[in-house]
Amino acid sequence: MAEFIHSITVEFEDVDCYGIIHHPKALYFCERARAAFLRENSIRVTGESPFGLVLRDVSIKYRNQLVMFDKAEVSVRSKKINKMSFVWDYIIKKDGKNAVFCEIEMVAIDIKTKKLIALPENLVNALKKIEISE
């Protein structure tokens, strides 16, 4: 199975008053991993890029706690790639154990018009490198 791995450290700013990861921070970790994957595959979605990626749907399941200074890995995979949308499939692991599962459905938009467009070919090609089947 193909995947892209991005390492993270849970910092002081990432935890709540109970000392465990504050729930929105899981999305931040996924975003950092996604940005690293796009950067490594020369996919630009900022600045001069003619397209952007927009979140359509998100689902997060928390299984094991992440606490301050934990070292973890974010596994990035893709699925349900079609003409207009795809799903990022993330697993955040600590010590080899699954801590967080996250799925984010995205679509592409034309930056100038803000209208939905077909997924660009270079993006689809990169996503297929880490595609999983269900």
Domain contains 101: yes
pTM given for the model: 0.93
Domain contains 133: no
Q: How many residues does the chain have?
A: 134
What is the full per-residue pLDDT of the chain (134 aa) written as tens digits? Answer: 589 999 999 999 999 999 999 999 999 999 999 999 999 999 988 778 899 999 999 999 999 999 999 999 999 999 999 999 999 999 999 999 999 999 999 999 999 999 999 999 999 999 999 999 87
% helix, strand, coil for the chain, step of 5: 20, 45, 35
How many domains are contained in the chain?
1
> Taking Cα atoms as reference points, which of 66, 64, 74, 69 lies closest to residue 11?
69
Domain contains 134: no
Domain contains 116: yes
| CATH code for position 65 | 3.10.129.10
Domain holding 112, by residue range, is 4-128
C-alpha 73/C-alpha 58 separation (Å) is 20
